[in-house]
Amino acid sequence: MNPPGREFTVMSREWCHLCHDLVEALRPIADEFGWRVVVLDVDQDPELEERWNELVPVLLHGDAELCRYRLDTEAVRVYCAGFPLESGA
């Protein structure tokens, strides 16, 4: 299995204000480090809803859970900084 690229996944719900807050706070950090943010609405997939239900929002990178409910800005910055720069080659 390949390691995940520079892509965050946020398990979210459309009506969840904490979810919106986390994504809003995450986007500038993702932009700064060149990461993509993918938001998945758990209510649109029964398997995701069963797995994540009341745990949202959850920030993931691959299978790694980085934070839940509120963005841990410092932890996410440290996590992003641990990735080598991507070359254009």
pLDDT above 90: residue 74: yes
Domain ranges of the chain: 7-81
Q: How far apart are CA 66 and CA 78, in angstroms?
A: 11
Per-residue confidence (pLDDT) for residue 86, from 0 to 100: 57
Task: Scan for tokens 């239900």, then name that residue.
Answer: 53
pTM above 0.75, yes or no: yes
Q: Domain 7-81: what homologous superfamily?
A: Glutaredoxin (3.40.30.10)
Q: Where are the alpha helices (DSSP H) in the chain?
A: 17-33, 46-52, 73-81
pLDDT (tens digit per residue) in 13-42: 999 999 999 999 999 999 999 999 999 999
Q: How far apart are CA 50 and CA 8, in angstroms?
A: 21
Are the beta carbons of 35 and 80 closer than 8 angstroms? yes
Mean pLDDT (whole number) for 48-58: 95
Per-residue confidence (pLDDT) for residue 2, from 0 to 100: 46
Using a 10 angstrom Cβ sphere, with 0-12 exposed, 13-18 middle and 19 or more buried, the burial of residue 12 is: buried
